[in-house]
């Protein structure tokens, strides 16, 4: 299949070369940078920046044709998803980071992206290895000026590029984990720490997959940072998946996983290495696999975290004891789940846990329970477009949850709040 995909893309190249010869296209190749951004469904290559020999102030996007190829050494990319033409939404004069300017030596083409447009994705998912980067290449033609661009200068990843991606932590000289981290700008006083634990498809040793697979990079956005008046963000990455047991398969809580001790050690090491973190405002959350691990950490270390925000909980309720419920009933927790989640079925996971916490007297535990997970933009998928029910983290990353289980608004000091506003207000109060 990989060979066929390569042949298909070669057809596009040969076609453009033939066209080049016919219309006297230059033999030299132009340079480009691709822009990768996180969207609700995952990453997409939504822009490409073209280098120009001369300064320009005019252009027309209809003059361009954009062809791409997606290849992976792991295979698994079907022919219709391996190469083809990308649609151009608009074009503008820019600098080399896609910022608009009046005149300049760069052109940015804005490309169509959508959750049902795999040709726009720089990731490819496989059951064995989860989300992996693909070799994503452009071949761009300007039919009016007879210019061609097909030499890559790399990629720009807004928000992701603001993270330190080189974090490594080794536990007991045996287990090494990667992590991404973000420090708030213009920090004056101590700041809280937001910890995000990725889902099952983002393990490995490249934390960019954990930042983009579930749009976790959004915790560095101005919209969320402003809620906390600046916050550190820590995104650890499991070498495989958080729910792995000692035999290499999944645990949903019946037996221990192999990562929670190392993960907690990583968190404590990061906090110790960053003395401006407010230790009374450390928040942990995650989705699916990461939801399991978030609950696991607060069960084991209920005194450490100021709050938890958990979506698509994958911890089986049957393995949580009454003693466990008593341990965490006073920890502020906000659950987010969708009723049509067929992967982490709410009746087996979050519903019993939530009801048992409330019955035990929990005063600051909330639960936003959605009917479906929809395209909140009404744009990329279209009005009424539904994502898989498992993807309730879409709402969390956009700071949308406001309603509790009984559909009343969650309030802090009598004021309605979003999930991030609520979380920012949580703080461990020292015992007298």
pLDDT value of position 429 = 86
CA dihedral (370, 44, 209, 180) in degrees, to 10, reads -90
Same domain, 344 and 398: yes
pLDDT value of position 63 = 95
Interaxial angle between packed helices 260-273 and 289-300, expressed in degrees from 0 to 180 and rounded to the nearest 10: 70
CA distance 19 to 14: 8
pLDDT value of position 359 = 98
Same domain, 146 and 167: no
CA distance 137 to 83: 9
pLDDT value of position 24 = 54
* CATH number of the CATH domain containing 220: 3.40.50.1820
Look at residue 429 and tell me if it is in a domain: no
Domain end among 91, 122, 156: 156
Judge whether residue 208 has pLDDT over 60: yes
Q: Which of 37, 59, 224, 214 is nearest to 113 (CA)?
A: 37
DSSP 2-49: HHHHHHHHHHHHHHHHHHHHHHT--SS-EEEEEEEEEETTEEEEEEEE
Look at residue 89 and tell me if it is in a domain: yes
User: Which of residues 76 and 315 earns the better pLDDT score?
Assistant: 315
Look at residue 30 and tell me if it is in a domain: yes
Same domain, 268 and 143: no
Q: Within 13 Å of residue 390, how many CA atoms lie on the same side as its CB?
A: 15
Judge whether residue 380 has pLDDT over 60: yes
Domain end among 100, 126, 156: 156
Mean pLDDT of 163-174: 96
Mean pLDDT of the chain: 93
Domain end among 156, 185, 212: 156
Q: Which of 228, 240, 230 is nearest to 204 (CA)?
A: 240
Judge whether residue 325 has pLDDT over 50: yes
Judge whether residue 14 has pLDDT over 50: no
Judge whether residue 204 has pLDDT over 90: yes
How many domains, in total, are found in the chain? 2
| Residue 340 vs residues 356, 373, 406: alpha-carbon distances, Å | 21, 9, 18
pLDDT in tens, 278-293: 999 999 999 999 999 9
Domain span holding position 164? 160-424
Same domain, 208 and 350: yes
Same domain, 198 and 323: yes
* CATH number of the CATH domain containing 45: 2.60.40.2180
Same domain, 316 and 386: yes
Structure tokens at 346: 């709410």
Same domain, 333 and 394: yes
Look at residue 226 and tell me if it is in a domain: yes
User: Which of residues 126 and 163 earns the better pLDDT score?
Assistant: 163
pLDDT value of position 8 = 46
Same domain, 395 and 295: yes
Judge whether residue 17 has pLDDT over 90: no
CA dihedral (195, 201, 202, 205) in degrees, to 10, reads 130
Same domain, 384 and 352: yes
Look at residue 430 and tell me if it is in a domain: no
Q: Which of 320, 387, 328, 394 is nearest to 351 (CA)?
A: 320
Judge whether residue 378 has pLDDT over 50: yes
Look at residue 431 and tell me if it is in a domain: no
Under 8 Å between Cβ of 289 and 243: yes
Mean pLDDT of 245-272: 97
CA distance 429 to 306: 9
pLDDT value of position 126 = 84
Mean pLDDT of 103-107: 95
Same domain, 77 and 151: yes
């Amino acid at each position: 299949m990989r060979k066929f995909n390569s042949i298909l893309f070669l057809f596009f190249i040969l076609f453009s070369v033939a066209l080049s010869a016919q219309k006297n296209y230059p033999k030299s190749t132009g340079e480009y940078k691709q822009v990768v951004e996180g969207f609700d469904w995952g990453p997409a290559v939504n822009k490409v920046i073209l280098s120009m020999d001369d300064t320009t102030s005019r252009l027309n996007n209809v003059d361009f044709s954009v062809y791409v190829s997606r290849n992976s050494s792991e295979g698994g990319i079907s022919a219709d998803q391996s190469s083809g033409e990308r649609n151009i939404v608009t074009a503008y004069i820019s600098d080399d980071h896609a910022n608009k300017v009046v005149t300049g030596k760069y052109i940015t083409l804005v490309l169509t992206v959508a959750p049902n447009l795999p040709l726009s994705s720089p990731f490819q998912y496989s059951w064995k290895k989860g989300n992996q980067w693909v070799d994503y290449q452009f071949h761009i033609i300007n039919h009016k000026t007879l210019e061609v661009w097909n030499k890559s200068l790399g990629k720009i990843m807004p928000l992701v590029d603001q993270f330190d991606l080189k974090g490594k932590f080794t536990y007991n000289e045996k287990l090494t984990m990667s992590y991404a981290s973000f420090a708030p700008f213009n920090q004056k006083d101590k700041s809280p720490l937001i910890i995000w634990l990725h889902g099952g498809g983002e393990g490995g040793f490249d934390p960019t997959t954990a930042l983009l697979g579930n749009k976790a990079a959004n915790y560095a956005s101005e919209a969320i940072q402003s809620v906390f008046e600046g916050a550190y963000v820590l995104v650890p990455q499991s070498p495989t998946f958080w729910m792995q047991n000692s035999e290499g398969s999944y645990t949903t809580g019946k037996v221990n996983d192999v990562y929670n001790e190392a993960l907690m050690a990583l968190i404590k090491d990061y906090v110790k290495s960053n003395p401006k973190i407010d230790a009374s405002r450390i928040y942990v959350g995650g989705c699916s696999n990461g939801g399991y691990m978030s609950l696991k950490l607060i069960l084991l270390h209920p005194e450490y975290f100021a709050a938890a925000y958990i979506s698509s909980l994958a911890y089986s309720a049957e393995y949580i004891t009454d003693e466990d419920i008593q341990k965490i009933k006073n920890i502020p927790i906000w659950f987010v789940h969708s009723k049509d989640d067929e992967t982490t079925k709410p009746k087996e996971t979050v519903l019993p846990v939530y009801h048992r916490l409330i019955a035990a007297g929990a005063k600051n535990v909330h639960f936003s329970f959605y009917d479906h997970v929809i395209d909140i933009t009404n744009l990329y998928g279209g009005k009424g477009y539904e994502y898989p029910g498992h993807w309730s983290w879409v709402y969390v990353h956009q700071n949308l949850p406001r309603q509790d289980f009984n559909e009343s608004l969650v309030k802090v000091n009598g004021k309605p709040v979003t999930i991030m506003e609520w979380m920012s207000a949580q703080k461990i109060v020292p015992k007298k």
